[in-house]
Amino acid sequence: MAKRAPSVIAHLGPAGTYSEQAAFFYLNWLKSNQNIEANLSPYPTIAKSLQAVTTQQADIAVVPVENSIEGSVSMTMDSLWQFDTLQIKLALVLPINHALISCANSLDKIDTVYSHPQALAQCQGWLAQFLPNANLIASNSTTEALQLLPEVPIIAAISSSRAAQLYKLPILVSCINDYPENCTRFWVVDQADSAEQSFAPTHTSLAFSLPANMPGALVKALEVFAHLGINLSRIESRPTKRSLGEYLFFIDAEAGINSPLLTSALAKLCIFTEVLKVFGSYHVLAVNT
């Protein structure tokens, strides 16, 4: 029998991002638990990581969806609404510890700090206290600017200690995130017609639009879950991008897709929604770092 080709796991790059760290955990999990070989494939944005699965350039994507400090990652949510053929098969929770990486000799030499917008926001208190006059510049990832540091010693980047090791760069200050229990939830996403999952699902993620912007429209949809006793661990709105004041509502329900209660909830929810999309039902794993 021919040997199966390694699976390709797409993630936000370049090398050293937290997305790569989560993807690497899942790669090792596949090898240890399912004897499946996989390779990592970095992409410049979260949207392109997910698009790679829809175009079959990758088998799986590992993308961030929510941070415990800064909330949801809008690009992931918007992309999942756009790509109808994707499903969530697993959630990974990764501890996040940011470091200030720079070739400067001291903090007072730094005039610019680069990082992903989420990382800058997760360290905004520290930055205001220790680098109040520095320019903060958003980049596509926490590692995108690292290659600039050796050439420009007055700049710094917020990234992981692992990234500093990969790029052989000095860490000026460790653990600069404002809250020590900082963590990010990632979704492992593949095609909707893929094989069965390895775990019994405990959560289901979905989103819907409403048929009309009128009093009580959202309440009627949410009451479906309340009446059935299904807890919602996340409720968030995103613009439909059709008209100002129109929103999509993203929900995480603490129930598996095949549970009788959720089956009943989805049937009733169709009555009160315009478009209803179920992104997947999955188990949540903590990532050991």
pLDDT (tens digit, 9 = 90+) per residue, 24-67?
999 999 999 888 899 999 999 999 999 999 999 999 999 999 99
pLDDT, tens only, 200-230: 899 999 999 998 777 788 999 999 999 999 9
Q: Which of 4-18, 41-55, 194-208, 258-272 has the lowest mean pLDDT?
A: 194-208
Q: Is a pLDDT exceeding 80 seen at residue 288?
A: no
Res 189: pLDDT: 96
CA angle 203/237/12 to nearest 5° reads 70
Res 287: pLDDT: 86
* Mean pLDDT score across all residues of the chain: 92
Tell me if 59 sits within 8 A of 9, measured CB to CB: yes
How far apart CA 279 and CA 162 sit, in angstroms, is 31
Q: Which of 162-170's residues contact partners 24+ apart within 8 Å by CB, and which partners? A: 162/16, 162/21, 163/15, 163/16, 163/17, 163/101, 164/99, 164/101, 166/15, 166/16, 167/16, 167/101, 167/143, 169/101, 169/102, 169/103, 170/101, 170/102, 170/103
Residue type, 187: W
Res 267: pLDDT: 95
DSSP secondary structure letters along 9-75: EEEE-STT-HHHHHHHHHHHHHHHHH---EEEEEESSHHHHHHHHHTTS-SEEEEEEEETTTEE-HH
pLDDT-derived band at 199, boundaries 50, 70, 90: confident
pLDDT-derived band at 123, boundaries 50, 70, 90: very high
| Mean predicted confidence (pLDDT) in 111-120 | 95
Q: Which of 68-72, 95-99, 191-195, 260-264 has the lowest mean pLDDT?
A: 191-195
Q: Is a pLDDT exceeding 90 seen at residue 259?
A: yes
Q: Is a pLDDT exceeding 50 seen at residue 1?
A: no
Tell me if 94 sits within 8 A of 21, measured CB to CB: yes
Three-state SS at 198: coil
Tell me if 98 sits within 8 A of 183, measured CB to CB: no
Res 213: pLDDT: 75
Res 5: pLDDT: 66
**83-to-51, 201, 269 alpha-carbon distances in Å:** 8, 22, 21
How far apart CA 61 and CA 63 sit, in angstroms, is 6
pLDDT, tens only, 144-187: 999 999 999 999 999 999 999 999 999 999 999 999 899 999 99
Other C-beta atoms lying within 10 Å of the C-beta of residue 93:
15
The β-bridge partners of 136 are 113
Res 99: pLDDT: 97
Q: Is a pLDDT exceeding 60 seen at residue 195?
A: no
Question: 90: part of which helix (H) or strand (E)?
Answer: strand 86-95
Q: Is a pLDDT exceeding 90 seen at residue 124?
A: yes
DSSP secondary structure letters along 217-243: HHHHHHHHHHHHT--EEEEEEEE-SSS
Res 48: pLDDT: 96
pLDDT, tens only, 135-145: 999 999 999 99
Three-state SS at 271: helix
